[in-house]
Structure 1
Amino acid sequence: MPDQHVRGPYSSSSAAGASAPPPVPPRLPPPVTDRTGMAIGLMCATAFIFALQDGFSRVLGQAYPPVLVVMFRYWFFAAFVIALVARQPGGLKRAVRTKRPVTQILRGVILVLEVLIMVEAFVRLGLVETHAVFTAYPLLVAALSGPVLGEKVGWRRWTAIGIGFVGILVILQPGSGVMRIEALLPFAAALMFALYGLLTRHVSRDDPPMVSFFWTGVAGAVAITLVGIWDWQWLAPIDWIWMAGLCVCGMTSHYLMIRAYEMAEASALQPFAYTQLVWVSIIGVTIFGEVLRPNVVVGAVIVVMAGLFTLWRARVKSTG
């Protein structure tokens, strides 16, 4: 949804975000002091705010073209990015200078497209089913890390990837007569978010995190404006309140996420990003009247457990 999942635009191999689960920023320098407990608290708060953000996206997406909703959201997000980056050493002059401009622009376009697909999925499928399928993105990251980054994926992670896709089949129930083509939307979004994360790792070899952050927000805002401006319309007065909530949630969640990753390593925090699925389920059932089908619960548990295993194996490989 990933701005996640607008989710937000920081990401790596492991995270949510789209508007999707909280995305993980590029690798930051090791924390000076161990404040992992506080960082975990911030990550859990981030996951909750991202869930609220997805709720706002669904409300607005039901009343207006999703491309218009995402365009407004990205305008505010780009302003937030520019203001934040301007306060960093070197300011905007440093942020503009990238060694991989084509890849940086591609990242921004992929992420904004992923967010757009997630909003469409929220409207068509609901929050619960969309996020249940989207939780497969860490598995897709592991599967694509070989062809995209040339990394070696061992048999244990391939086994976890296979089990995770069994969980997706449990959620989607192909051949049962209840599967709709719309159910493939969150899977497509997860695939894009995984590719975005891998490209983020790729550019992080040459560009610092704030450069990638800047290009994600600005490139995404320009791309969605070129498409969304043709669906321009003014929002109803009450809907500006929902839009304000959406934008405030987006800025707040990304700020808290950045602070969390300044305090602790991504491998320690990423499992807590899955708490967004819990909050999304509560919001979907209590506010939007969605049904928590047993196959969705079982499938989501399988996918999350497989994803946690791939994250653990990646951590073991990096420290071993």
Structure 2
Amino acid sequence: MTAPSSALRGVLVAFGAYAVFAFSGASIKILHGGVPAYQIAFIGALFGGAALPFIKARGDSWFDVVRSTNRPLWLLRFVCGAIGAIASIITFTKLPMAEAFCLLFLLPSFVTILSVIFLREDVRWQRWAAVIIGFLGVLVVLRPGFRELSAGHLAAAIGGLVAAISIVVMRKMGPAEKRLSLYGAALLGTIAVSGILMLSEMVVPTPRQWLFIASYGLLGAAGNVMLMTAARLAPANLVAPPQYSQMLWAIAFGYLIFDDSIDLPMAAGIVLIVCSGLLTLAREKKRGTPLPRAVVSADNQAPLATSAEETSAAERPAQSASPATSHA
């Protein structure tokens, strides 16, 4: 396969992966809060384990799910996975889909700020400008003082922040950490924490609710595998930008299914936030910084695909391996 055709296939698979993640988020919203968020997170994470056989590399042991080269950082990702899953479920339950994605797309801005604080990265004015544009977009969308803010808005901010912490943790741990360990930390964290929390409030899902909870978890797992495949076919700088296509899915779902509407200020805010994210990705590509994984799945566990190692592998056209043969 030639390099251009491999890259094109990778980009198309990435678009498909982000569409799958959008459908996963819509599955949560269809539940309309009929099942507690902790319980959705727990059951969804169990279904999310379906991705593990595809993430496991040749020569890996299943015990690598809990092994780590840096236990404190693994435990931090464990906690962030649980908080992010619960927060994102609350976000999609409480907010219109377009607004939910809009706020979660603040992830690159959070990553920039945390990278300066904890990784001592040299961030120049162009990336700070992107951060400012992103937060201006949020102010335009939220219009504090002119509309009532809800628990969904707070959950979106928390979800974006803990996902950013996870990215910084992944960068700190480096390519020596196996993908199975990285994914396992978030998956096990969600199962353990949400499993404990849901004991205080449990319901027996109806068959219809089971269908959409399973859809949430299985589509999230499928999206992970698709995005890892995309990262083998195309460079990370081509795989990351299609995440913003989710906004089109969110608008379509909102209009056709959930009777949502978007006014002019919200549309303007969405444009500013998307521009902020794309500017950040462009700057990180130019500086050779490993691109952050996107917050694209409802459970915040997805895309471990944009590490420096994966980028270099994707740029070698003769080596478009299957997901089962990779390491993080």
The TM-score, its normalising length taken from structure 2, stands at 0.81
Structure 1 stretches (4+) deviating beyond 3 angstroms? 31-34, 81-88, 93-96
1:53 to 4, 16, 24: 24
Q: Which residue pairs with 1:224 in the alignment?
A: 194
Determine if the alignment matches structure 1 residue 80 to structure 2 residue 80: no
Determine if the alignment matches structure 1 residue 234 to structure 2 residue 204: yes
- Alpha-carbon distance in 1 for matches of 2:183, 2:88: 21
2:123 to 124, 133, 153: 153
- Counterparts in 2 of 1:223 and 1:33: CA distance versus 1, 3 Å: farther
Unaligned runs of 5+ in 2: 290-328
1:265 to 227, 235, 238: 235
- Counterparts in 2 of 1:193 and 1:87: CA distance versus 1, 3 Å: closer
The TM-score, its normalising length taken from structure 1, stands at 0.83
Q: Which residue pairs with 2:41 in the alignment?
A: 70
Determine if the alignment matches structure 1 residue 40 to structure 2 residue 11: yes
- Alpha-carbon distance in 2 for matches of 1:154, 1:87: 37
- Counterparts in 2 of 1:180 and 1:94: CA distance versus 1, 3 Å: closer
Secondary structure of residue in 2 paired with 1:219? helix
Q: Read off the aligned partner of 1:96 and give its amino acid letter.
A: V
- Alpha-carbon distance in 1 for matches of 2:216, 2:158: 23
Contact 1:85 1:91 survives alignment (8 Å): no
Secondary structure of residue in 2 paired with 1:252? helix
Contact 1:81 1:213 survives alignment (8 Å): no
Displacement of 1:102 = 2.2
- Alpha-carbon distance in 1 for matches of 2:82, 2:236: 23
Secondary structure of residue in 2 paired with 1:214? helix
- Alpha-carbon distance in 1 for matches of 2:65, 2:41: 24
- Counterparts in 2 of 1:305 and 1:248: CA distance versus 1, 3 Å: same
Displacement of 1:288 = 0.5
- For residues 200-258 of structure 1, what are the alpha-carbon distances to aligned partners after superposition, in whole Å with 9 as ceiling and x for unaligned? 21122541323212222223322221222332332112222222222221221111011
- For residues 157-194 of structure 1, what are the alpha-carbon distances to aligned partners after superposition, in whole Å with 9 as ceiling and x for unaligned? 11121121111110011222x13143333122211111
Q: Read off the aligned partner of 2:37 and give its amino acid letter.
A: P
Which has the larger displacement, 205-214 or 55-64?
A: 205-214
Contact 2:31 2:212 survives alignment (8 Å): yes
Higher relative contact order (CA 8 A, sep 6+): 2
- Alpha-carbon distance in 1 for matches of 2:229, 2:12: 11
2:214 to 238, 241, 244: 244
Displacement of 1:61 = 4.7
Displacement of 1:114 = 1.5
Determine if the alignment matches structure 1 residue 143 to structure 2 residue 113: yes
- Alpha-carbon distance in 2 for matches of 1:242, 1:307: 30
Counterpart mapping for 1:1-320 below 5 A = 35-77=6-48, 79-86=49-56, 88-176=58-146, 178-182=147-151, 183-318=153-288
Give the alignment's Cα RMSD to 1 decimal.
2.1
- Counterparts in 2 of 1:122 and 1:280: CA distance versus 1, 3 Å: same
Contact 2:36 2:202 survives alignment (8 Å): no
- For residues 95-149 of structure 1, what are the alpha-carbon distances to aligned partners after superposition, in whole Å with 9 as ceiling and x for unaligned? 4331112211221221221121122122222212111121111111112111121
Contact 1:66 1:116 survives alignment (8 Å): yes
Aligned residues: 287
Identity of aligned residues (%): 21
